[in-house]
Each structure stands twice: as structure tokens, then as C-alpha cells.
Structure 1
């Protein structure tokens, strides 16, 4: 067995083998002075008011840096400032689901109907979840499984309320193709809470936030967050106050800090708390991605010759192949937030960026490349046709 294969197997099995990892194909972690200078250049180029970057190397957090301001009062953005996690919530939630699968409490390929005491459309609509009653008459909901929901292949729009008539529906056979859906993750939350009797917020608190020392992370607003809280800036430069989210929503209600979330990211790339099989499943290709870009959600599939072979859905993340081997990433976004997480399991190297100014997204490809070297992250698919700052 050659050294690379032996080392890769050791990482997968978390066995603590003595075989050294192969030499890096990317630059070493940049100095903090160099990172500070590059972040300042990125902010000047994009006009972003606030940006925070964490660097993970060898499965440990080696740097958390914050730049700019957190609000219109020009109070400084700090690594422990509370920021909106947006859709990075989905990755944290997927980690919880993989733990439950490890414990045998949920089967990734088991129909959600097995966990519910009555048909999904018969549940009363609740603002906390979605409008399952709209699925009445479409028995395809019974084909939905946790794996299908985690790979965004339920056939839903992003959210039912975004449909032209506001009604949730299944657009294609579940599991047949990728189409990003927050409602799919909320449905899985519903299954855990109604079917298994779990409370997702409490489970994440115990299994993730407490375990990794994430003292300022929660899926519901806490009054103590107000002492050091980031507002946001929209693309037009206007300020958007931080939303005090009172409802646990697996699709994106997490408030967190760079310090906190970087601890989770380091643990995730190490595979902490998951069996080797669960970690491999979460971060390996599960379903080809066949669209030109992530949004709009229900766009046409590309003809087979035009589809990317280096891009697939993992479980709660997107998986890609690049010049440094396989990686995974996840983005998070709203009108005033831009977040990204990129990890290269070989070397256990990651970059986490939280920005309280959506304009900072234009610099994400350059900043990730500055830290990790060229990794092959599919930015054009993630963001579609938009201009990026090239570092010049």
C-alpha cells in the first residue's frame, strides 16, 4: 500500500496511524500579517464593511480574524461578535442527522412515512414548518427519505411560499435530481420532532454547541446576543438590522460567531462525533448535480455532455473534485449576509468566512484561494454569472 493510500485510509478510519500525510500541493497557511493585508484589500475593492475569516489547518483552528465594523455606529467586528449563520445551519443540522443515523435512530434510506403516525399531508399547517397539507393527493411524499432531503432532491422549490401560487408541491420524482430546498431540511426537522420526539434546538445544543464550546451559538435569538451583535449591509450599501429569529429552523436560523463556528468546522473536518462511515457518507458524492448554477432552484438540467463531473451533492454539503483532491463546501446568504465554508479533508484544511456585508462575496474565491491555494471550488455554480474580485 503506497503512503498516500495508507494515510488516506488512516484518516477515514480515524485510527491514529503513524504514517505521515503526503506533502502539501498548496502553499502553507499565510502569515497573519499577509492575511490581514489581503482582507483589507478585499474590503477596499468590494466596499464591504465587515468580514471575518477562520483558518483551519491539520484539523485545528490556527487563526480567527475579524475586520471592519459590526454596525452603523462603527463598533468593531470581532471574532466573538454574533453573526447570522444563514444556510451554514444546514450543515450543522446534517451533522446531527448523521449522528442519529450512527445511533440507529433514523435510517437514511427509510421513507419518512415510517416515522410519522399519520400521512404527512394530514398534519395541520404550522408557521414553524411548512404547508404539508398542500401535498394532499400526491403520494410521492412517501418516497422521501432523509438522504433525499439532505441531498436537496425532494422535488420542492426552495420554499413553498416562493411558488407562484404559494403552494408547496413536488416537481419531479424524489431522489432523481438536485434542486436546492430549504423546505426539504425543514421537513426533515419535522420528522425528527414529530416522528422521533426530539427537539432539534435542544439536540444541537447538547450534541454540538456544548460539546465544542460554542457558547454564543443558538438556533433562537438570545437577549445576551445584543451586547456584541452584527447588523448587515445590503448590495446597495443600506444597513439591515440583525433579525431576532425566535423559531428553530434547520434551514437557517442559527446565530453564531466566527470563534464558535470555526470550532465546529475543525471538528467536522476531523470527523469528530461521527463514525468513519458517517463522515465519509456526509462528505462524499451522493447525487450528481446537473444544473448550470445553484439558483434558480428549479432550472432545467444541462444536457449530459455539458454537466460537470466534478460536482455532486453530499449530505448537508456540496462535494467537488479539484487539483488538491476531493473537497466539500457550503454557502449561506441573504440580502445582507455572505458566508462560505470550504474544506479539503486531505490535510484537514478549511477556510470559514462570515461576512455581515453581502458585497464581500465577490472576494470569496480570491480569499479562499489565498489561504488554501487553488482547490477547484465551483464558484460559478454557487453564485451563477456574477463578477468576482480577482485580487488585482
Structure 2
């Protein structure tokens, strides 16, 4: 791998005087073993201990030409965006700008069902599809941020392409990017906030994330990762032109290291808000994350301690409580795992979705056995031992 020397040099520049200037050779060997066994072309990892960055490394390729993946390579965060967005919203809660348990009807100038496709940008669903169903008034920021909206993952995935409720808001967990996007809509249409600007100011600038954005920036092109599918096909990096709270963030592993450390410390949040973010908000009762609207398991088969947090998943394990968030599409795989005890975290960004079966091995090599619900997150996928 040509990225090794570059990764060490760049880590020294990015985190001068920190332990991150010296990579953990055991972790490096673990990542290399995962790449060999899965065929993944590029994996980047950051490690946080006691709320401080202690290691940042990147291995493999960032594109088909074989240019090296480095800690400063811009990669697609996918649904890790949701966790960063949830953190930003909790700052608004702290400031009294928004109440987690207040109906979204109280924030919008008009009923949600008045907004049709001719009035809002194409990044939002056509909320007029919900006309005649007043359950939308039951929706609150807490319900939306904990994936209990009752929506499918996205409205356009419905057979008829129309947004609809599959269960009463708040009744149960059902992963929904659509719910996160509606939360963005409430902030923008109801409170007049620019979510992209708020994310930049409250999250990216706060943590020194200089190569992170909710939309494409031309300067990213100089060191940019493409992606690889399960079939090994290369997919060019998507230059996203719209802020989407459910998953438009571009970032680097160096920036994600800073974010994970700051979030572990609770920077920018009151102790109460930090605790609320990771608290078990509602039990998760399905066998796996996807498909999103699968039946609930009988009570005796449900995973104890598995619950939704604000923008994250809460789990109980042998080291006590922790939270994690996955990020996935057809050509990237990411995960962000934190154990509350010791404020310890690992972030993995892979520009190749084939890397995902090796995530448990990488996490285990750093944090030990954590209790992350891998089989719930990835379903029947065979994970590396």
C-alpha cells in the first residue's frame, strides 16, 4: 500500500504533538487483514480515548488510478450525517430554539399538508401527499430524530411514490431518512434557519473540520475518494449540490476524528443535553435495521438494551452503554462507535462497501468487545471473525 508513509506524515501535520502522530501498528495490521480478506480498496480509521484523538490512519487507494487514500482525503459520510445533524439540533434545544416534544405544527407557518412539490425544493417530499391524515400533527422533533415517524426510509421508495404513514408517529422504531429530512424542513421553513450554514458554524467550524461540508466544494477535487461496489465497480464521487440532513456530508477521517473527540467530550452542549442525546429514547424491536418496515419481534426475541438515541443508536454491552451510527450506500461503508466509559470511540470510513464485513474486527481490535449490534445493523451479512 502506498498510503502508509503519507498517512503518518499527514497525521503529524494534522495533529501536531498528539499521539496521532504515531500510528498503532497493531491496528494497521488489522486493517490490512480486513482489506486482504474482503478485497476492499481503501479504509480510514480514527481512534479517540478520553475525548482526545490518539490515532488517525488511512490505507489503500482513493480511486482506480491507485492514488493513495490519506487522512485528508475527502470521503462520503453517508448517514453519519444524521449523527452530526442530531448533535446540531441538540444545541438548538439547549438554547431554547426548539423543543423536542412540541408538535412540528407549532413551528410551521402553514399546515404541513399545504406544501406541495411546486412550493418546495426537490430535496423534500411532497407533504401534500399526507392530506386528510392529521397524524402529521403528532410528529415532534424527538420522534423525527429517533426514527419513529412512521414513514418509509424515503417517500420515493413507496410503490406509488407517495409519502404515507405506516404506523402512528412515536409508536415504534422504523429507520427513516424521510423523517430526518422533515426535521430539516421544519428548521428551514418554520424557523428560517439555513441548515447548511448552521452545520458549518455549530459543528464543522467548532471542531476545526476544514475539509467537511454539507455540499460539494471545488477544493475537494484535489484529494477526493471515489467508491467501489460489491461487484468491484468504481463509482465516481457525487458532487452534491443540496444540503440534505439525512446524508449529504463530505468529510475526511481527520475531520471525523475531531468531531468524534468533541462529541465524546460534549463540547457545545450542556451536560443535560449531552446525556439526552445518548439516552435510550425508545426500544428497537425489529430483527434488523433493514428492511425498515419489517414486523416487530415478539418481546422474548427482542434485543435488550437496544434503543434509539438522538441521531444515534444506543446499545448496552459488556463495557456498559455505548452509541453508534452506521453510514452506507452502494459504494461506501462507514461506522462510528463510542463507548461511554472512558469516552472511547472509533470511526471507520471506507471508500469500498466490501469493507463492511471487517468492521467488527477493526472495532474489536481497538475497543474490545463492545456489544455493538452488528447482526441488527447488517442483517444476514457474514461478518469476519
Fold shared by both chains (TM-score > 0.5): yes
Q: Any conservation in 1 of the 2:30–2:361 contact (CA below 8 Å)?
A: no
Please, which of 272, 275, 287 is the counterpart of residue 277 of structure 1?
A: 272
**C-alpha deviation, 1:124, in angstroms:** 2.7
Aligned to 2:169: 174
CA distance in 2, matches of 1:306, 1:73: 48
Q: 2:371 & 2:41 partners in 1: Cα distance?
A: 27
Give the corresponding residue for 2:98.
106
- 2:314 matches 1:322: no
Gapped runs of 5+ residues in structure 1?
A: 1-29
Q: 1:40 aligns to what?
A: 32
Indicate yes or no: 2:202 matched with 1:207. Answer: yes
Matched, 1:92 2:84: yes
Tell me what 2:9 maps to.
none
* Residue 335 of structure 2 is aligned to residue 340 of structure 1: yes
| Aligned partner of residue 219 in structure 1, secondary structure | coil
Pair 1:118-2:110 in alignment: yes
Q: Distance in 2 between matches of 1:175 and 1:73?
A: 48
The structure 2 residue matched to 1:58, chosen from 38, 41, 50, is 50
Shift of 1:356: 0.2
SS in structure 1 at match of 2:230: coil
Aligned pairs for 1:128-277 (under 5 A) are: 128-277=123-272
- Residue by residue over 1:74-123, the C-alpha shift from the partner in whole angstroms, topping out at 9 and shown as x without a partner, is 00000000000000000010011100000000000000000001100101
Q: TM-score, normalised by structure 1?
A: 0.91
Partner Cα separation in structure 2 for residue 283 and residue 131 of structure 1: 32
Distance, in Å, in 2 between the alignment partners of 1:131 and 1:184 is: 13
SS of alignment partner, residue 81 of structure 1: coil
The TM-score normalised by the length of structure 2 is 0.93
Cα distance between partner residues in 2 of 1:59 and 1:368: 17
Structure 2 residue matching 1:117: 3-state secondary structure: coil
**Partner deviation per Cα, 1:185-215 (whole Å, 9 max, x = no partner):** 0000000001011000001111111111100
Provide the residue aligned with 2:287 in structure 1. 292
| Root mean square deviation of aligned Cα | 0.9
Identify the residue that residue 307 of structure 1 maps to in structure 2: 302
1:380 matched to 2:372 = no
Once the two structures are overlaid, the 10-residue window that deviates more, 119-128 or 281-290, is 119-128
**Where does residue 4 of structure 1 map in the other structure?**
none
**3-state SS of the aligned residue for 2:285?**
coil
Deviations 1:258-312 (A, max 9, x none): 0011101111111111111111111010000000000000000001111111200
Question: Per-residue deviation at 1:31?
Answer: 6.6
Matched residue, 2:61: 69
May I ask how many residue pairs the two structures share in their alignment? 361
> Per-residue deviation at 1:33?
1.1
Q: Partner of 2:349 in structure 1?
A: 354
